[in-house]
Structure 1
Amino acid sequence: MASDLDKASDKAHGPLRSFGRIKARPIKPRQAALVDTLLPRIAVPDPANGPIDLAALMPGASEAWLEIGFGGGEHMAAQAARRPDVLVIGCEPFLNGVASALRHVEEQQLENVRIHADDARAVVDALPDASLDRVLILFPDPWQKARHNKRRLVQDETIAAFARVLKPGGRLRFVTDWADYADWALERLDRSEAFGRLDADQDWHVAPADHVVTRYEEKKLGDTAPIFLEYERR
């Protein structure tokens, strides 16, 4: 039976929540201060208020990337530091992760990061057609039990939504350390006419050249070495 939290989240975010816990341990005082001061300055406008204007978020940005579920923010911050010309939007509902990411943004003085501390699907729905150059999904909640598979982020509906917001030639990267989720994503992405897999003959355990290893990845919590799937918007 669904918990009250699940029911409340379903009302707020659609039929099913695709992520687990919202907060674990207490947030450190420094990071809590950043939630109060830095987050309001770099937060993505509330998607409930209407379409998101990417040009207003970072005038003159050469590209716009979306990272869904950035965890502690190490990968997002590293990518943003490498490409200060790119607007990097990160979505993460886990408050401890948001607080950690804010610390990275402050320490590296990143001016090209914008954060949505909630469900990424609301942001995707509010983005204009063909507005993103990249979508990055790294180690999403695997929802391993068969009865929970319907909660996985990667579904036919979300793949269609990613296709809508990606520019032709835009890239979608999916990374997981659970073999069953890799097969699940591969099946759904391959049957989408909007996407074509890149380097299909390459060992899927080989990380792309620009991949950044995170603390989560180093913990090796899944049942396989990380699997990398890279697709292009046709």
Structure 2
Amino acid sequence: MDNDRHPSGAPWRNFYGRFKGKGLRKSQEVYLDEDLAALSPGAVGWEENPDRTPLDLDALFGDRDVWLEVGFGGGEHLVHQAVQNPGVGIIGCEPYINGVAMLLGKIREAEARNLAVHPGDVRDLFDVLPDRSLSRAFLLYPDPWPKKRHHRRRFVTPDYLEPLARKLKPGAIFRVATDIPDYVRQTLEEVPPQGFDWLAEGPADWRRPWDDWISTRYEQKALREGRMPHYLTFRRAG
């Protein structure tokens, strides 16, 4: 057996976040049991798709543009974007099952029909997304991993940015929101070398939220604790 691979064929990938927190409410268990399978984007996992056959996004969303939100937390922003943009298909990726359950409740309430949910590591999703298939991607208040020795765990590293860049169309938009100054530093150091242009001409371009922004619970916590949000917009080069 290849020492770099799981018996299923999957590459060994360290994952440092949480998959599950405190007990789910009964209603959330119902959402997971009744709704998640129908909203899953297809054969993403290695056991169900060992050949890594690309997802059929036309079957999933028709001829819509496809967006991706990485780590959607409780799903406020994801559902907001889906409702505001019914002509777009949006995939949300989140390994934390409690957040997935929260999102499913919001999807029911909003009756959003243009969403898919991958409850796992985004790198597995990158394996099966067709290249140049995404028109937009969001990374909003990602885990900051504040200790210096843990900075390699952040999303804004080549392990994540290289496959993301391949999946984005030329001209696609990548939005990053964070309240951690050092995360801003690393983002500005790591994202442009992967083929992105930072779309900022002055301080207002990163201090002011996007016109279609909805403040999430993570942002509200940051504001209460006196941390300044930063809104960084990048465009995938041709």
Distance 1:15 1:39, change over 3 A: closer
Could you tell me how far 1:148 is from its partner in structure 2? 0.8
- Structure 1: give runs of 5+ residues left out of the alignment: 1-7
Amino acid at match of 1:28: R
Amino acid at match of 1:32: E
| CA distance in structure 1 between the aligned counterparts of 2:112 and 2:210, rounded to whole angstroms | 23
- Listed one character per residue, the Cα deviations across residues 110-139 of structure 1 (whole Å, up to 9, x for unaligned) are 110100001111112211111000010001
Aligned to 1:5: none
Show the 5 A alignment for 1:82-97: 82-97=84-99
Amino acid at match of 1:220: A
| CA distance in structure 2 between the aligned counterparts of 1:83 and 1:23, rounded to whole angstroms | 30
Number of residue pairs matched by the alignment? 222
Structure 1 counterpart SS, 2:207: coil
Mapped pair 1:224 → 2:222: no
From 38, 41, 44, the equivalent of 2:38 is: 41
Distance 1:99 1:183, change over 3 A: same
Structure 2 counterpart SS, 1:220: helix
- Structure 2: give runs of 5+ residues left out of the alignment: 1-5
- Normalised TM-score (structure 2): 0.88
RMSD: 1.9
| CA distance in structure 2 between the aligned counterparts of 1:14 and 1:149, rounded to whole angstroms | 19
| CA distance in structure 2 between the aligned counterparts of 1:142 and 1:13, rounded to whole angstroms | 25
Amino acid at match of 1:199: A
Could you tell me how far 1:224 is from its partner in structure 2? 2.9
Mapped pair 1:233 → 2:205: no
Structure 2 counterpart SS, 1:147: helix
- Normalised TM-score (structure 1): 0.89
Amino acid at match of 2:198: R
| CA distance in structure 2 between the aligned counterparts of 1:69 and 1:21, rounded to whole angstroms | 12
Mapped pair 1:56 → 2:59: yes
- Listed one character per residue, the Cα deviations across residues 156-202 of structure 1 (whole Å, up to 9, x for unaligned) are 2322212211111100111111111110111111333x111112423
Aligned to 2:108: 106
Aligned to 2:18: 21
In the alignment, is the contact (CA less than 8 A) between 1:13 and 1:119 conserved in 2?
no
